[in-house]
Amino acid sequence: MGELVVETHDLTKKYGDLVAVDKLNLSIRQGEVFGILGPNGSGKTTTILMLLGLTEPTSGSVRVLGLDPARQPLSVKARVGYMPDEVGFYDELSARVNLIYIAKLNNLPRAEAHRRIEEALTRMGLHDVADQPVRTFSRGMRRRLGVAEVLLKRPQLVILDEPTQGLDPEGAREFLNIIRGLKQDGITVLLSSHLLHQVQAVCDRVGLFHRGRMVLEGSVPELAQKVLAGAYHVWLQVEGPEEAIQEALRQLPGAQDVTREDHNRYRVVASEDLRAEAARAVVQAGGQLLSLGVEMPSLDDIYARYFEEVHHGTAT
Amino acid sequence: MARQPEQPRERIRGREGSPWSGLWAVVAKEMADHLTGMRMRILEILIVLTAVGTVYAATQNLRETVGQDPFILLRLFTTSREPLPAFVGFLGFLVPLIAIALAFDSVNGEFSRRTMSRILAQPIYRDALLLGKFLAGIFTLALVLATIWLLIIGSGMIGLGVPPSGEEVARSLWFLLATIFYGGIWLSVAMLFSIIFRQPATAALASIATWLFFTVFWGILAGVLAPILQPVRYGFPEEILAQAQLELTLTRFSPNTLYTEVMLALLQPTVRSVGLVLPIQLHGAVLGTPLPLSQSVLLVWPQLTGLIAATILLFALGYVLFQRQEIRA
C-alpha cells in the first residue's frame, strides 16, 4: 500500500469537560476505503471536522495529505472532498447552479468548471434533472448531488459522513457502488457510519469508535479474530440421537460452544470452519445429516459483542 | 489552540493564503439571491409605492412655490402633505425593515439548510463568507436606494420642471450615503442576531425588537434618565443646560437620532445646528440663509462617522462570534 493520506497523533478534542475525541491515532493509506464505526456521540463527526480544519484540535497533531489542516486549511480543503451527514443545498436553485457556486468558491476557471460540472452530473446520473430546483430532489438524489460536488475538486481524499443514512435499500446499494467507483479511481475514502453491513461491504479497514477513542482497528476478518476469537457459526440439521450428537460435536477440536436450537437444529461456535469435521462426527454418532452451513463472522456480531463486553467491563 | 512546540516555524507563519479568496463568489451568489428572492420583491414594491405616493404629494404642494426656493428638489424628500408623512419619514423605518429582511437569516439560514459545513469545507475562510454576505446586503441596499433616489430626482424634474442644481445633487448624494450606512447598522444588527440565534424567526424578532426599542422607547428613556443623572438642584441655567445636553447625548446613542440629524442638516440647508443653540451663539448669523454644503456636512460629520463606526463595530462583533462558532449543529 502507498503513503499515508491521513495521520493523526494523540489527537484530542475537548468541549469543556467533555472529551469528544481522546488521543486518537489514526492512519489511512492511499487508495483504501476506511470506515469509522461507532454509536452516535462517539466522536466520529468531530474527528472528521478536525481532519478538515473546521474544528481546532485541543491537542495532538493531524496530517492530511502531508498538510496541517489547522495551518494550511485552504490547501487541505482544496484537495479533500467532504460530504456532511444530512447534506443540504440551496433548495430554490437548480443542481447546476448549486455546483457552479461551489466551483467558484474553488476558484476553478470558467471553462474547466463547466466541463467538470457536466462530467460530475453525468457520472452521478443527474444530467437530466440538472436544471431542476434541488427542492424537487429525493434524498438519494441529494446525496448523489453531494458526491457530484465532491468530484468537482478532483479530490485525493473523500470524506463521507453517514453517506447511506436514510436511504432506501436500493439507494443505499447504489451509493455503495458509487463508493467502489471512487476507490477504482484511486481516491482514498473515509466514511463514517453506524450501518454495519454496508461498512463491511465496501471498507478495506474499519475503526471502531467508542467514547472518543478508537478501540479497535483492522479489516473485518482481523477484528473478528480479535473480538470473537474467530467465531465461525456452523449450523447443522441432523436427525438422530440428540445426546450423542451433541456430545460428538462438543468433542470436536476447536469447538467452543454447542447449542441445540430446534429439535433437529444445532449450532457450533468454533474458531475455524468446522463443517467437514462436524459432518463426520455427526454421522459417526449415528445421526442423519440433512443439511449444514457456516456463517462468516459479520461486523454486526463484532460490534454487538464488543459493546456487550464493554458493558460487562471486560474489554480493554 | 493546539500547542505544538515541535513545529514552531509553522506557528509563526500564521494563516495560509488570503482570507478573502472566494469573497466575490459569495457576494455574487448572495446578491443574486437577494435580487431574485420574493422577500426583496415585496419590499421593492413597498418602497416604490411609498416613493411614488410621497413624491406625488410633495410635488402637488411644491408647485406653488417653484422659483422661490433654490433647493426645491430637496424639498421633494422632506415635504409632507396630510395624511402622508414626508418620504424621509418613511425611509426612517423602511430602511431598517429592508436591512433586517436582508440579513436576519443570513448565517442561521445556512445552518438550518445544512449548507454551512458544505460551504466551509470549500477552500475559503469564514471571513470571506461573512464579509461576502454583509457586502451583498450593503450592495443590495445601495442598489435599491440609488434606484429610488434616481426615481425621485427624475420624477421631480418632470413634475416640477426644474433641473437639479449641482449642490442639490451633491447634498442628496450625501444623504444617499448616510441612508446606506443607516441601513448598514440594521444589517449588522440583524446579522449579529442571525449568528447568535439558531432560529431565523428569533433573530428577526430580536432585530425588530431592537429597532423598536431605539425608535420608540429610547427617546422616552433618555427623557427619564437625564433628570436622574443630571438633576436640576438650584435652578441655575447651567444646570438646565447640562441636563438638556445630557438628554441630547443619550438620544444620540440611537441610530435613528443620528440619521434624523444627518438628514435634517443635509436636506435643509438652512439648518445651522442639530444640537442646543444659545441665542448668543446666533449673534451675527443671518437666519434663514442656507449654509454651503461643506458646512452642512461638517455640521453632521460626527453623526455621519458615528453611523459608519456603529456599522463597523457591530459587524466586528458578529465577526468575532462567528469565528468562534462551532460548525456542528
Show the 3-state SS of B91-137: HHHHHHHHHHHHHCCCCHHHHHCCCHHHHHCCCCCHHHHHHHHHHHH
- ipTM for the complex shown: 0.86
CB B188 within 8 A of CB B315: yes
CB B73 within 8 A of CB B160: yes
- Residue B2 above 50 pLDDT? no
Strands A232-239 and A288-295: what pairing?
Answer: antiparallel
Pick A194 or B240 by higher pLDDT.
B240
Region(s) of chain A under CATH 3.30.70.100: 232-296
Mind listing the pLDDT tens digit for each residue in B50-93? Answer: 888 888 888 888 877 766 777 888 888 888 777 777 888 888 88
Among the CATH numbers 3.40.50.1010, 3.30.450.20, 3.30.413.10, 3.40.50.300, which is that of A4-218? 3.40.50.300
To test the contact with chain A by mutation, choose from B30, B105, B120, B322 the residue with the greatest count of A C-beta atoms within 10 A, namely B120
- Residue B9 above 50 pLDDT? no
CB-nearest to B117 from A54, A90, A104 is A54
Mind listing the pLDDT tens digit for each residue in A169-211? Answer: 888 888 999 999 999 999 999 999 887 778 888 999 999 898 8
CB contact under 8 A, B2 and A71: no
DSSP string spanning A110-171? Answer: HHHHHHHHHHHHHHTT-GGGTTSBGGG--HHHHHHHHHHHHHHT--SEEEEESTTTT--HHH
Q: Report which residue type is found at B166.
A: G
Residue A299's SS3 state is helix
Mind listing the pLDDT tens digit for each residue in A225-257? Answer: 777 666 678 888 888 888 888 888 888 888 888
From chain B, pick out residues whose CB is under 8 angstroms from the CB of A91.
113
Contacts of B312 (CB under 8 A, 6+ apart): none
| Torsion B136-B137-B138-B142 (CA) sign | positive
CB contact under 8 A, A71 and B10: yes
Pick A149 or B155 by higher pLDDT.
A149
From chain A, pick out residues whose CB is under 8 angstroms from the CB of B13.
71
CB contact under 8 A, A101 and B121: no
Q: Report which residue type is found at A305.
A: R
d(CA A78, CA B25): 16
From chain B, pick out residues whose CB is under 8 angstroms from the CB of A105.
22, 25-26, 119, 122-124
CB A30 within 8 A of CB A172: no
Tell me, what's the pLDDT at B10?
A: 44
Distance from CA of B185 to the nearest CA of A (A): 27
H or E element at residue A283: helix A275-284
Percentages (nearest 5) of helix, strand, coil residues in chain B: 75, 0, 25
Single out the residue of B179, B229, B197 nearest to residue B107, CA to CA: B197
Residues facing A268 on adjacent strands:
A234, A258
* Residue percentage of chain B with pLDDT more than 70: 93
CB-nearest to B118 from A49, A78, A88 is A88
Region(s) of chain A under CATH 3.40.50.300: 4-218
d(CA A188, CA A191): 10
Residues facing B274 on adjacent strands:
none
Single out the residue of B327, B251, B328, B267 nearest to residue B300, CA to CA: B267
- Quick one: cell of A188? 482514498
Single out the residue of B6, B233, B33, B27 nearest to residue B113, CA to CA: B33
Q: pTM of the prediction? A: 0.86
Topology of A232-296 in CATH? Alpha-Beta Plaits (3.30.70)
d(CA B295, CA B269): 9
Tell me, what's the pLDDT at A49?
A: 93
Q: Which residue of chain B has the CA closest to A70? A: B15
d(CA B211, CA B195): 17
To test the contact with chain B by mutation, choose from A105, A135, A150 the residue with the greatest count of B C-beta atoms within 10 A, namely A105
CB A177 within 8 A of CB A144: no
User: CA B109, B113, B114: angle at the middle one, nearest 5?
Assistant: 115
Q: What is the dihedral of CA A151, A153, A155, A159, to 10 degrees?
A: -70
CB A236 within 8 A of CB A282: yes
Tell me, what's the pLDDT at B1?
A: 40
Residue A219's SS3 state is coil
Pick A253 or B250 by higher pLDDT.
B250
d(CA B267, CA B175): 7
Least confident of A86-95, A143-152, B95-104, B229-238: B229-238
